[in-house]
Amino acid sequence: MTDKLEAWPPLPLAEWQATRDTLHMCTQIVGKIRLALSPKMNHWWEVPFYLTARGLTTSPIPYGTETFEILFDLIEHKVLIETSAGATKTVPLAARPVSDFYAELMSQLNSLGITVKIWTQPSEVPNRVHFDQDRIHSAYDPAYAQRFWRVLVSVDSVLKEFRARFLGKSSPVHFFWGSFDLAVTRFSGRRAPERPGADSMTREAYSHEVISVGFWPGTGDIDAAFYAYAAPEPQGFANAAVLPGAAFYNTQLSEFFLPYEKVRQAASPRESLLSFCQSTYDAGATLGNWNRQELERGSPSGRSPGTAEAGGTAGSD
């Protein structure tokens, strides 16, 4: 397959929407297993997956005196269950109903002596059908599933480079199976104001001031894009001039967006994405009065840590 040789392949949602939705449900099943068995961490960091050289992984999950790990191999298109006792089980990733995948995965876990009960209704999606009843989502195109992973590999590398510039508290670069996106979050170190009416998940996720940036493969009529937001959003953030020129502020979602296709077609996708990460952070951190001298390693682009792009002129690729 030639896609695996291309770092930034095209990812038109219309061509793989059905596969995307099936894969999303499969990752939710595995994610809920991790959630059910993992100790709670700040900001729900026990929930996400991580990129591997072949796909995605839960990382080790504690179970009794042992651990196990569930991995999505998007090169050979299978899910692997591996235990610290040396046992391994495999579940194919193929075109079949989600309910069949769910049944086989739970059966293989049981065969390893792993018993887990999960909430079988999907999260963060409309028209939710319980996994054990879902015969709607059944498409799986291996080429597009692998292409999606190849995009994640490239994005993961850039986000890790961006994360390394920060000395303050920062999340890992991780993949949220609920919203189906890869993200990294920086923290100012200060508590955030309480959000009136917020549910428990939102209160925990946004208990402190953050600036996040990530990649989302799109859904419905929205194609793949990068996003960035500040929470709480400082005054003037929506009007900040950020890079590259194709980036724009979405007033409905209160986030900056940058279409993936614009980054893919840039002379340097890496530099294009880094400019988006850095300029949105510069705007949020400066307008939000973060202590940038203490939080940053210095300016990779030659600016002093206290200088923002918020009042500058947005460039273009």
Which residue bears the tokens 């020129």?
245
Examine the domain organization and report whether 155 and 291 are in the same domain: yes
Placement of tokens 């590398």 in the chain: 157
**CA of 296: how far to CAs of 166, 304, 307, in Å?**
5, 10, 12
Instruction: Determine, yes or no, domain membership for 315.
Output: no
Residue 291 lies in a domain: yes
Q: What is the pLDDT of residues 243-291, one digit of tens each?
A: 999 999 999 999 999 999 999 999 999 999 999 999 999 999 999 999 9
Q: At 161, list the tokens.
A: 């480079």
**What DSSP designation does 53 have?**
S
| Residue 121 lies inside a defined structural domain of this protein | yes
Beta bridge partners of 185: 212
Based on the fold, state whether residues 175 and 93 are members of the same structural domain.
no
Distance CA 57, CA 148 (A): 15
Give yes or no: residues 154 and 286 share one domain: yes
The answer to the question of residue 303 being in a domain is no
How far from 7 is each of 3, 59, 214, 291, 312, CA to CA, in Å?
8, 24, 17, 36, 31
Structural domain includes residue 317: no
Query: Are the C-beta atoms of residues 163 and 173 closer than 8 Å to each other?
Result: yes
* Angstrom distance (rounded) from CA 257 to CA 254: 10
With b for 16 or more beta-carbon neighbours within 10 A and e for fewer, the 98-135 pattern comes to bbbbbebbbebbeebebeeebebebbebeeebebeebe
Please provide the average confidence, as pLDDT, over all residues in the chain: 91
- Residue 314 maps to a domain: no
State the pLDDT confidence band at 202, using cuts at 50, 70 and 90: confident
- Residue at 133: amino acid letter: Q
Domain presence at residue 309? no
Which tens digit of pLDDT belongs to each residue from 72-130? Answer: 999 999 999 999 999 999 999 999 999 999 999 999 999 999 999 999 999 999 889 99
Q: Residue 310: what pLDDT? A: 37
Contacts of 60 (CB under 8 A, 6+ apart): 67, 68, 69, 84
Beta strand residue intervals within the chain, DSSP E: 50-51, 55-57, 61-63, 66-73, 78-83, 88-92, 174-176, 181-191, 208-216, 225-231, 248-250, 255-259
User: Quick check: 1 pLDDT over 50?
Assistant: no
Domain-terminating residue out of 108, 133, 158: 133
Q: How far apart are CA 303 and CA 26, in angstroms?
A: 44
In a shared domain, residues 206 and 107: no
For the chain, what is the total number of helices (H) and then of strands (E)? 7, 12
Instruction: Calculate ∠ Cα 158-160-4, nearest 5°.
Output: 50
111 and 24 fall within a common domain: yes
Q: What is the pLDDT of residues 280-295, one digit of tens each?
A: 999 999 999 999 999 9
> Is the Cα dihedral 165, 185, 250, 289 positive or negative?
negative
Are both 56 and 150 inside the same structural domain? Answer: no
State residue 212 phi and psi, 5-degree precision: -120, 150
Q: pLDDT per residue over 132-185, tens digit each?
A: 999 999 999 999 999 999 999 999 999 999 999 999 999 999 999 999 999 999
Say if residue 36 is in the same domain as residue 126. yes
68 and 128, same domain (yes or no): yes
Does residue 202 sit in the same domain as residue 126?
no
**CB atoms closer than 10 angstroms to residue 202:** 12
- Looking at 81, 99, 133, the residue that finishes a domain is 133
Give 287's contacts (C-beta < 8 A, 6+ positions apart): 230, 234, 235, 236, 237, 240, 308, 310
- Domain count within the chain: 2
Same domain assignment for residues 149 and 291: yes
123 with 206, same domain? no
- Look at residues 121, 62, 111 and name the one whose alpha carbon lies nearest to residue 88: 111
* Mean pLDDT of the region 19-23: 98
Query: Residue length, the chain?
Result: 317
Among residues 88, 113, 133, which one ends one of the domains?
133
Residue 183 identity (one-letter amino acid): A
In this prediction the pTM is 0.90
Contacts with 53 (C-beta within 8 Å, 6 or more apart), sequence order: none
| Same domain (yes/no): 282, 166 | yes
Both tokens of residue 83? 């235990």
Q: How many CA atoms lie within 13 A of 217 on its CB side?
A: 32
Nearest-10 crossing angle of helices 98-111, 13-37: 30
pLDDT at residue 306 greater than cutoff 50: no
pLDDT for position 245? 97
> The domain containing residue 83 runs over which residues?
11-133
Is 304 within the bounds of a domain?
no
